[in-house]
Structure 1
Amino acid sequence: MSVDSSANDVAWAPAVAFYFRVTFHGKPSISDTNFKEVSGLTVDMDVETVKEGGENNFTHQLPLRLKHNRLVLKRALAKMDNDLEKWVKDNLENGFSIGFTPRNITITLLDSDGKPFSQWLCSNAYPAKWDLSVLDAEKNALVIETLELNYNLLSRTQ
């Protein structure tokens, strides 16, 4: 049995996890492809367990609210002369005195041609933690900075 394919068929290729871009919306807009890892794109539903009188075979699981893990971005340590570093520093060091400046963040997974394959939007994100990897004189490794951000809502936009 042969499969008939026409010239209009679109070739499908699976997504690769290593070709992505992170964009921080706002003024100025910051687009960064230098992150080595993105994690925390997670949505979890809190539930309330309710026991029904006389029913011993199960409990009711009632949905309450969505919760999101922190968005975690990792990259090699960069100099503090860019807009992303300034935004992180301003929020972590001065956020309580001058006010936090949340940003929408888009994580774009790119195809082999560098075009968007899929996108996720983290709404109203702000820095919650900055971490530096261990400095070890016995290892030949890059210094990695980790940025953790809280956000309100995760949505897949493409």
Structure 2
Amino acid sequence: MSGDYFEDGYPPPAFYFTVGFGSGNPIADTAFNEVSGIGTEIETESVVEGGENRFVHQLPKQLKHGNLELKRGIAQFSSPLVGWCRATLEGEFSTILQLRTIIVKLNGEKKQVLRAWEFNDAYPVKWSVDAFNSTKNEVAIEKIAFAYSFSKRTV
């Protein structure tokens, strides 16, 4: 670990991050208040050893990951990201899915990139709006979930 990462002995806060959409025509509409779903795990298969009931071997099977989820205030209809979501989710598969690379960066206080993840061949699979509530004074939030082929940590 570099000295910059654990300034004063503490891990970095998770509130300073950026999201970018690349591959082809990059989307500039990238302001989000939450990113979740970053993670990968190995799916295993249990194999009982024959004749020896005490042992169950966990054999690696395949990598799996959930969807990458982004949250933000409801965007304007003219938003490029809204256009991509509408084309994908409301297009009834009349056109080929447009795949993009999504890059999430966790930044330090001096705008340096501390960690970065790249999600390849991503496309929107779910687009929802949080509940409206007349007793709360909150921003209306939309959530977009993306499926992707694979991810890698780049920093």
Return the match for 2:94 from 87, 93, 97. Answer: 97
Distance 2:29 2:105 in 1: 11
1:147 corresponds to = 144
Q: TM-score, normalised by structure 1?
A: 0.88
Whether the aligned pair in 2 keeps the contact of 1:130 and 1:146 (CA below 8 Å) is yes
What amino acid does structure 1 have at the position aligned with 2:145? E
1:132 corresponds to = 129
**Counterparts of 1:2-151 in structure 2 under 5 Å?**
10-11=3-4, 12-13=6-7, 14-32=11-29, 34-94=31-91, 96-151=93-148
CA RMSD between the two structures: 1.7
Q: For each residue in 1:91-126, what CA deviation from the matched residue of structure 2 results, as whole angstroms up to 9, or x when unmatched?
A: 111161101111110001111111211100011111
SS in 2 for 1:86: helix
Distance 1:27 1:154 in 2: 18
What amino acid does structure 2 have at the position aligned with 1:17? A
What amino acid does structure 1 have at the position aligned with 2:65? H
Distance 2:28 2:150 in 1: 20
SS in 2 for 1:106: strand
Whether the aligned pair in 1 keeps the contact of 2:129 and 2:142 (CA below 8 Å) is yes
Whether the aligned pair in 2 keeps the contact of 1:68 and 1:152 (CA below 8 Å) is no
Whether the aligned pair in 1 keeps the contact of 2:67 and 2:146 (CA below 8 Å) is yes
SS in 1 for 2:91: helix
Distance 1:10 1:67 in 2: 33
Distance 2:83 2:106 in 1: 25
2:153 corresponds to = 156
Instruction: Identify unmatched segments of 5+ residues in structure 2.
Output: none
SS in 1 for 2:90: helix
The percentage of aligned residue pairs carrying the same residue is 38
